[in-house]
Amino acid sequence: MKSKVEVRLRVLKTSFATLIFVVAVAFEGASRERLTVLILLFTLFLAWGYIRPRWEKRYFWLYVLDIALIYALEYQSKYLVNYFFHSLYIIVILEAGITLVRKTSNVVNVGCAAAAVFKFAADLVFRPSARTLSEFLFNLFALAFLITLLNYGRLQREEKVKNELLYRELLTTHRQLKEYAARVKDTVVLEERARIAREIHDSLGHRLTSILMLLEMSGHLLEQAPAQAKEMLERAKQGAREGLAETRQAVKALKEKESSGIAGIREMVDHFSRDTGLAVEFHLPDADLTPAESIVLFRAVQEALTNAVRHGKASAVQIQGELSGDELVFRITDNGVGGNFTEGFGLKSMRERLERLGGRLEIYPGPSFTLIGRLPVKR
């Protein structure tokens, strides 16, 4: 596209320059010998106009030959200034202003303008007059105005190109931000779904285990101790109500007791032990936990107790912990069947919660199931 524009520019330049030359020669009324010289110089000027563009981007000073050929045409004129030949300077200024970058075009145009007013300046020095001074000033200001106008046009084009590039960059950035926002939204939704699934699994699974144990024990005691069986059924009913309330609340927010520190964990352990008959030794230090740390530890202990009863068939659990530097190291061991195991949803959730806070989880199946968790704590 650019080459086609440049070709059209060369053809247009040739047409105007040829028209100006024909009028200038007619105005000159030159002899055969001088006409031959003028035609030769003009032919060189046109030919050089097609040759120079191959190198002008790198060697802008090649315009010196254009200026020299125009000056030679003026020199061959019988007049001090042939304004038709003189207008060829304007063609060169326009060409340089359009094809070259602004900085180099200014250098070429200033040189071309200096050559154009040289005759007027010399005449003003040797034959000073009001007419010569007016011609000098007119040509000087006319050329200065033309160069300024070209610079203004180039600045406008450059600003337009810059704005278009900036607009495209803004569009690209806007599109990328929209894509990123969509990805973040999807990630948040997935994380929230996973969080709700963990909360439902932990709270409801824990509660259902307690209810199941109460129902089984009440079934055994129904004939021998109906009053005790009835009490267990009432506790199972109450547990079901609480489980339903906890399930509803898990969708909206974490439960208050989960973030109430070691006291909330002890309350949950005592409640579970009373419902299931599981003997629990609880020895966690009274650490000052943040809500996030408290929730992670609460869920870890809750999941370990639920697994001990549901999968390990345990009758006793030990919960121990100590503060070691900036970590709370807790150990949960049951006396269940142990052996091989598959890390299910609950243990995976426990591990993810710990790792999210910079902690880690170690699992030892062994003859009895042992969990060792390391939870970074802020003091």
- Say which amino acid occupies 331: R
The DSSP bridge partners found for residue 283 are 320
Contacting residues for 267 by C-beta, under 8 A, at least 6 apart: 257
Cα distance between residue 276 and residue 211, in whole Å? 8
Contact 354, 377 (CB under 8 A): no
- Of 207, 215, 267, 213, residue with least CA distance to 242: 207
Neighbours of 89 (CB within 10 A): 23
Q: Cα separations (Å) of 74 from 35, 40, 124? A: 13, 13, 17
What string of pLDDT tens digits covers the 379 residues of the chain? 456 777 788 888 888 889 988 888 888 887 888 889 989 999 999 898 888 887 866 777 888 888 899 888 888 887 676 788 888 898 888 888 888 888 888 888 898 888 888 888 888 888 888 888 888 898 889 888 988 998 888 888 888 988 898 888 888 888 888 777 666 655 655 576 666 666 666 666 666 777 777 777 777 777 777 778 777 777 877 777 777 676 666 555 444 545 568 888 998 899 888 888 889 999 999 888 888 888 889 989 998 998 888 888 889 999 999 998 889 999 999 998 876 777 888 888 889 989 998 999 999 887 788 999 999 987 6
Contact 53, 11 (CB under 8 A): no
- Of 128, 140, 28, 18, residue with least CA distance to 81: 28
Contacting residues for 231 by C-beta, under 8 A, at least 6 apart: none
* Alpha helix ranges (H) inside the chain: 2-28, 32-51, 63-75, 83-86, 88-99, 102-126, 130-221, 226-252, 261-276, 291-310, 345-356
